[in-house]
Structure 1
Amino acid sequence: MFSGFQTRTGIFATAFFLASASLVNADTRPATAFQMAMAEFAPSGSDIAEFYRERGFDPIWVGETAQHTARRARLIRALSSTDMHGLPQGSDSAQSLVEQMKDAQTTRDLGAVEIKLSRAFVEYARNVQSGALRPSQIDDGLVRKVERASAKQHLEGLISAESDSYFDQLAPQTTQYRALMKQKLVLQNLIRQGGWGATVPVAKLEFGDTGPDVIKLRNRLIYMNYMRPTASPKFDATLLAAVQAFQADHGLAPDGVAGQGTITELNRSASDRLKAVYVALERERWLPRERGERHILVNQADFSAKIVDDGLVTFETRAVIGKNTHDRRSPEFSDEMEHMVINPSWYVPRSIITKEYLPKLQSNPNAVGHIQITDRSGRQVNRGAVDFTQFNARNFPFAMRQPPSKSNALGLVKFMFPNKYNIYLHDTPQKSLFAREVRAFSHGCIRLADPFDFAYALLSKQEENPKAFFQRVLATGKETTVQLETHVPVHLIYRTAYIGPKGQVQYRRDVYDRDRKIWEALQKAGVALPDVQG
């Protein structure tokens, strides 16, 4: 009835010959063995079952046309190269599917193979397009909603396009994704060759030092391509420049001193960096396909906020993110910035009122005097007339507000993308925090080092003189909402490995320990590193 599965020069071909009665219209004839097998392996009500029912159970894989052959070949190639994307092998490996095709002896066998190929395709398509993991199942700060196409959408997309073109467009079509895949190959090759050599003893090394530890520092940086080979045992100007370049690529203060923080990062293995790249690839798959021609990108691990126009960073500033405690870590999600508020009031979040301010008021009614206490109608409450000791976190009936001022917790401007997490970007009077290397201090919102310039950049699309407009409103001292005529997508991400604008790989510390959790989830799903540690 049909021949087996054959392989020739890496191109998979099949010769499946269906009996003339095997593919009939289900509405006019009894179900065939082929159809019954399809129903058995694609349960009623599933997307895959619906797809086949609508096409009268016409197969897309096991036919004998060139189109069927091309689809099978492309699927097997894709399943054979999941590691290229840092993905786990699916529930059905390429080899197991090839064996099932070879062993198919009956029409019923073909029906089973047809559904198994579709299931393997859908699993692959979903993983490479939207990620193998579900963010919300890993960490409660991963509140990102991932766009996922249905099985039916993937199958319909496949048959309406050339096989190669559909497979090729599944993965994120971003410069970042392609560069990360390239870096993954570089690291895998490096690990096979033994990595970056001997680690450097944890000590403080600086310009002018000599000795064996300096030689180890030099050798490590040579292996990492931060300097050319040299026999000098001295911490000279060349080594100083290499240390500074390394520090800049790893989010460290580029002071040229190899202190404990720098040496700790320097000693991280190539395998550790490869894990970060795997995680970054998965995170890239979680992001929306359409980021926005103009969008705001906040990388929490980099403590930075950027405005990106047509793929180019047109503005960048330092940022402070949420403190590394369970109730303060900044979440990860995407939204749209709608407006800014100049001279904002700070409406104190309920959690801060009850956890931080209520205990102080119970001890001293005049505590936190810079904050107004208001009733449900917004009227200011006389502190002296209230016995705060009668209230607790559940029944405290008041709100709290800090009026506009230079000392306002939000500074002089905030940038709003309304969301249920009450997260936004804003100014701050605590400017000294931006000089820190690790900047995790807020209650969850993102503080900006250069909020005025950020505002000018946003307003440049709608104001002839954005700086003059902003300063004019600011000078009134009144709380003023300025709508953005075109909303700007905001993406709060967390990337410990990414490719910089000049193509250089950048690594950052896992300040929230989220990447470790993602890596462990990828491992459980089947992702593995090369055996050699480097």
Structure 2
Amino acid sequence: MTSSFRPLLRRTLLATICSIGIAGLSGALPAQAQVTAFKQAVAAAAASDDAVAAFYRDRDYQPIWTDPGDEARQRRAAFLDVLTNAAAQGLPEARYDVEGLKAQMAAVRTTRDLGEVEVALSRAFVTYAKDVQTGILTPGKVVPDIKREVPLHDRESYLNEFALSDQPQAYLRHLPPMTAEYRGLMKEKLRLEYVMMHGGWGPRVNAQKIEPGDSGPAVIALRNRLIAMGYLDRSATGTYDAALQAAVQRFQQAHGLEPDGIAGTGTLSEVNQPVEDRLKSIIVAMERERWLNHERGERHILVNQTDFSAKIIDHGRVTFETRSVIGKNAHDRRSPEFSDEMEHMVINPSWYVPRSIVVNEYLPKLRNNPGAAGHLEITDSRGRKISRADADFSQYSARSFPFAMRQPPGASNALGRVKFMFPNKYNIYLHDTPQKNLFNREVRAFSHGCIRLSDPFDFAYALLAPQVDDPKAYFKSILDTGKETKVMLKTPVPVHLIYRTAFTDGRGRAEFRRDVYGRDAEIWQALQQAGVTLGSVQG
């Protein structure tokens, strides 16, 4: 028994009553017996949790919560406060059972009760700390296409850090992501909850299309809904005038729609989305932000699949942005989510056709016509071009087909004139494309999974700028050779492929996008199953 531990048990009856509202201990035991009973209670209560058990074992079962001193009191107060407000973080309040913890504390009568309270607080603490810092869910178990490696913190280290901290409130305050994005999402969550409490955004707009010059009930409903959403100043107009048109354009821009100022089917569908659905998107985005709660790089590339965009971020500021095309919404083509590092670009690339495309798309055509897909070379295991006339493709199955296929560099190459590589096991990269017309579409999900860029040359110039004096001339000099050339980036750039149906812009304003692959709907369902709720909702 340590000398620092004896006074705790001697003072338990009096001090614990005052400090945490525990009713008191009956049948006071000698100090030695109290120490033994406390240790046994802690060891037994922590036995089913390896991290908590190891923490107490390493500190000879000394408490961090039930000590009668000021430090323990401050820890309890700070922790119970964050648990009471867990819903503000989009977390499931019931998971931490704050009222149950308080009741357990108030019901303490024996030293064993006190030990069980000690462990109950620690177990709730490590659960909350993990949830608020790196998320409630395991992303890949909810959506297999989310390949993200969540930066999990060792559970025992949470307790060690908290025990050593002399500022428990500050420690707890810094557990959630300390990003402007997370703060912006929390702010929007509070705003939407306020809107719900006060009746929502008003009646739906019942129309197929509304355009400048129109008037009537649908125009009034559109006007009122845009006012409630914050896209239009208060107005009594009953006509689709210039002010209303400008408001529609602002709404369209904030929802990834073509800002033509006409409220067509797509725009009205988004206008009519209830507050509840927008709030779900915000809470899912907060969970996603927790999954990405690590250093992203002073310079990094951010591809938001739902926004169909690719950006270069320098020191928190967007320095380059271009439109993108993502994978088609089919089971084997959806673009995955993960992070990696871009190491190089290939100018004048060949397209080495992925095996899945070779056997699933081209082999059936070759069986019927050996001359099919004539723009592609067929090569053997040594890279030698084979003669189509001498090959009998009908004898091969998808499993036995022994050849590879390659499209040489050129203007019509499927990868365009440049690709950007961050080698990964998913064979995903960013690249140019000859199909420029796709970038004019509002929803741009057409690829086999890779990310196509609208302005790949400008993207290359931005990446090369830190390492060459004239990136445009340098790039062009290689491009003009027509030869496949690898250009290394002197400093690899982190790449984050994300999927956010809700996010904030540079001014902290919330924007929303369609759930292209339905992933956020699956995540919301999993969050609900974990106990996350919206409360009372009105449309």
TM-score of the aligned structures, taking structure 1 as reference length: 0.95
Partner of residue 361, structure 2: 356
**Could you tell which deviates more after superposition, 317-326 or 495-504?**
495-504
Aligned partner (choices 274, 288, 301) of residue 279 of structure 2: 274
Q: 1:424 to 1:72 in 2, by over 3 A?
A: same
Whether the aligned pair in 2 keeps the contact of 1:16 and 1:64 (CA below 8 Å) is: no
CA deviation digits over 1:159-212, x for unaligned, max 9? 122211211110000000001001000000100000000110131111111222
Partner of residue 49, structure 1: 53
| 2:13 is equivalent to residue 2 of structure 1 | yes
Structure 1 segment 306-345 matched on structure 2, within 5 A? 306-345=311-350
Structure 1 segment 278-297 matched on structure 2, within 5 A? 278-297=283-302
Aligned to 1:2, the other structure's residue is in SS state helix
Separation (CA, whole Å) in 1 of partners of 2:153 and 2:443: 38
Partner of residue 197, structure 2: 192
Whether the aligned pair in 2 keeps the contact of 1:4 and 1:102 (CA below 8 Å) is: no
Structure 1 segment 352-501 matched on structure 2, within 5 A? 352-501=357-506
Separation (CA, whole Å) in 1 of partners of 2:453 and 2:437: 12
| 2:81 is equivalent to residue 70 of structure 1 | no
Separation (CA, whole Å) in 1 of partners of 2:103 and 2:410: 72
Q: 1:57 to 1:5 in 2, by over 3 A?
A: closer
Separation (CA, whole Å) in 1 of partners of 2:308 and 2:24: 57
Whether the aligned pair in 2 keeps the contact of 1:500 and 1:506 (CA below 8 Å) is: yes
Aligned to 1:380, the other structure's residue is in SS state coil
Tell me by how many angstroms 1:151 deviates. 1.4
Q: Which runs of 4+ in 1 moved over 3 A?
A: 3-8, 12-20
Tell me by how many angstroms 1:362 deviates. 0.5
Whether the aligned pair in 2 keeps the contact of 1:13 and 1:69 (CA below 8 Å) is: no
Separation (CA, whole Å) in 1 of partners of 2:438 and 2:161: 50
Partner of residue 27, structure 1: none
One-letter amino acid matched to 1:383:
R
Kindly tell me the number of residue pairs found equivalent between the two proteins: 524
CA deviation digits over 1:123-151, x for unaligned, max 9? 00000000001101111111111011121
Separation (CA, whole Å) in 2 of partners of 1:20 and 1:479: 80
Aligned to 2:300, the other structure's residue is in SS state strand
| 2:119 is equivalent to residue 115 of structure 1 | yes
Structure 1 segment 252-263 matched on structure 2, within 5 A? 252-263=257-268
Whether the aligned pair in 2 keeps the contact of 1:23 and 1:58 (CA below 8 Å) is: no
Whether the aligned pair in 2 keeps the contact of 1:336 and 1:488 (CA below 8 Å) is: yes
Separation (CA, whole Å) in 1 of partners of 2:87 and 2:18: 22
| 2:109 is equivalent to residue 126 of structure 1 | no
Separation (CA, whole Å) in 1 of partners of 2:78 and 2:486: 54
| 2:91 is equivalent to residue 84 of structure 1 | no
Aligned partner (choices 266, 270, 274) of residue 265 of structure 1: 270
| 2:183 is equivalent to residue 178 of structure 1 | yes
Separation (CA, whole Å) in 2 of partners of 1:122 and 1:105: 26
Q: 1:13 to 1:458 in 2, by over 3 A?
A: farther
Aligned to 1:490, the other structure's residue is in SS state strand
Tell me by how many angstroms 1:503 deviates. 2.2
**Could you tell which deviates more after superposition, 360-369 or 230-239?**
230-239
Whether the aligned pair in 2 keeps the contact of 1:362 and 1:389 (CA below 8 Å) is: yes
Tell me by how many angstroms 1:89 deviates. 2.0
Whether the aligned pair in 2 keeps the contact of 1:80 and 1:93 (CA below 8 Å) is: no
Whether the aligned pair in 2 keeps the contact of 1:4 and 1:16 (CA below 8 Å) is: no
Separation (CA, whole Å) in 2 of partners of 1:91 and 1:216: 41
Tell me by how many angstroms 1:4 deviates. 8.5
Separation (CA, whole Å) in 2 of partners of 1:229 and 1:6: 57
Aligned to 1:315, the other structure's residue is in SS state strand
| 2:179 is equivalent to residue 168 of structure 1 | no
One-letter amino acid matched to 1:426:
H
Separation (CA, whole Å) in 1 of partners of 2:108 and 2:401: 71
Aligned partner (choices 135, 143, 148) of residue 144 of structure 1: 148
Aligned to 1:384, the other structure's residue is in SS state coil
Whether the aligned pair in 1 keeps the contact of 2:23 and 2:107 (CA below 8 Å) is: no
Tell me by how many angstroms 1:533 deviates. 1.5
One-letter amino acid matched to 1:52:
Y
Partner of residue 35, structure 1: 39
One-letter amino acid matched to 1:245:
R
Tell me by how many angstroms 1:361 deviates. 0.4
Tell me by how many angstroms 1:14 deviates. 6.3
Q: 1:464 to 1:309 in 2, by over 3 A?
A: same
Separation (CA, whole Å) in 1 of partners of 2:173 and 2:23: 26
Partner of residue 303, structure 2: 298
Aligned to 2:31, the other structure's residue is in SS state coil
Please provide the CA RMSD for this pair.
Answer: 1.7
Separation (CA, whole Å) in 2 of partners of 1:267 and 1:528: 22
Whether the aligned pair in 2 keeps the contact of 1:177 and 1:284 (CA below 8 Å) is: yes
Partner of residue 31, structure 2: 20
Separation (CA, whole Å) in 1 of partners of 2:145 and 2:537: 33
Separation (CA, whole Å) in 2 of partners of 1:399 and 1:127: 46
| Structure 2: gaps (5+ residues) | 1-11
| Structure 1: gaps (5+ residues) | 25-31
TM-score of the aligned structures, taking structure 2 as reference length: 0.94
CA deviation digits over 1:16-35, x for unaligned, max 9? 899632676xxxxxxx1212
One-letter amino acid matched to 2:358:
I
Separation (CA, whole Å) in 1 of partners of 2:434 and 2:228: 44
Q: 1:86 to 1:44 in 2, by over 3 A?
A: closer
The structure that is helix-richer by fraction is 2
Separation (CA, whole Å) in 1 of partners of 2:16 and 2:276: 39
Tell me by how many angstroms 1:5 deviates. 6.7
| 2:520 is equivalent to residue 520 of structure 1 | no
Separation (CA, whole Å) in 1 of partners of 2:74 and 2:445: 52
Tell me by how many angstroms 1:301 deviates. 0.5
Separation (CA, whole Å) in 2 of partners of 1:384 and 1:295: 48
Whether the aligned pair in 2 keeps the contact of 1:16 and 1:62 (CA below 8 Å) is: no
| 2:214 is equivalent to residue 214 of structure 1 | no
